Amino acid sequence: MITIKDLKANVETDDAKDGETSIEILKGLSLDIPEGEVHAIMGPNGSGKSTLSYVLAGREDYEVTGGSVKLDGEDLLELDPEERAAAGLFLAFQYPVEIPGVNMSTFLKTSINAIRKQRGEDELDALALLKLMKAKCAELGIKDDMMKRAVNVGFSGGEKKRNEVLQMAMLEPKFCVLDETDSGLDIDALKVVADGVNALRDPKRSFLIITHYQRLLDYIKPDVVHILANGQIIKSGGPELALELEKKGYAEFVGEAA
């Protein structure tokens, strides 16, 4: 499904040191997630977790200097962000962005049809979309009236994250990256979001879950856990690795690698 090989990336920075305008964050990261598997990446602050999600999604200001990323054999790094979305990559944002004046139903309609258009499929009409929205909202326990509100404007932390899961459900991606989806959520909201993600687990769909804490992994059981430190995967293992990490802290593992 997704194969990342020796990925190196710089991020542009404003505080230039010695004339450098960018610093290297990912320093040869390799990762392979087979179809249908859920992998978790855990790492301390500054280890490159969010950079990884942005690089995968193709954000500006992140410059790939080496390595490759392939989704079902297709070179993602060659594609624009919207083409990556059409190829089946979905990023659930750590901080979902507000778009004033654009209601959720318009946003979802524009998004789905933009992706369908890129794939050479017919656009969905308003009625078909409405039906789909209603069905997905019901599945995820989201009230319909959220569809009339402007995208993320005035949403609580929990609503924002549920909205990300709703979009994921509507767009039916092949590969989902969840960037610290647990941040800012209380335990109830966390459960709701985890249930949503679990409902989307599918033998044809892979997940990469980026998180600080083991807590989220109590609800979304990963197949493999990776530890990211200093821009590289330093250790991989089963779900028990997350528990071990929780007990010992990052310092021990980071030390181990160094």
The residues of the shown chain that bind other proteins, judged by CB under 8 A, are 57-61, 80-82, 84-86, 90-91, 93, 95-102, 106-107, 110-112, 114-115, 118, 150, 167, 171
Nearer to other proteins among residue 109 and residue 226 (C-beta): 109
Nearer to other proteins among residue 87 and residue 241 (C-beta): 87
**How would you class 18 by CB atoms within 10 Å of its CB: exposed for 0-12, middle for 13-18, buried for 19 or more?**
exposed
What is the smallest separation between the CB atom of 204 and other proteins, expressed in angstroms? 19
What is the smallest separation between the CB atom of 189 and other proteins, expressed in angstroms? 21
Q: Which two tokens stand for residue 116?
A: 């369908």
**Phi, psi (degrees; rounded to nearest 5) at 47:** -80, -15
Q: Distance between the two ends of the chain, CA-based, in angstroms?
A: 31
d(C-alpha 45, C-alpha 126), whole Å: 43
What is the smallest separation between the CB atom of 163 and other proteins, expressed in angstroms? 11
What is the smallest separation between the CB atom of 176 and other proteins, expressed in angstroms? 12
**Phi, psi (degrees; rounded to nearest 5) at 163:** -65, -40
Nearer to other proteins among residue 33 and residue 85 (C-beta): 85
CA max distance for the chain: 58
Cβ-based neighbour number of residue 56 at 10 Å: 24
What is the smallest separation between the CB atom of 57 and other proteins, expressed in angstroms? 5
Q: Which two tokens stand for residue 170?
A: 């509507």
Nearer to other proteins among residue 127 and residue 187 (C-beta): 127
Nearer to other proteins among residue 73 and residue 101 (C-beta): 101
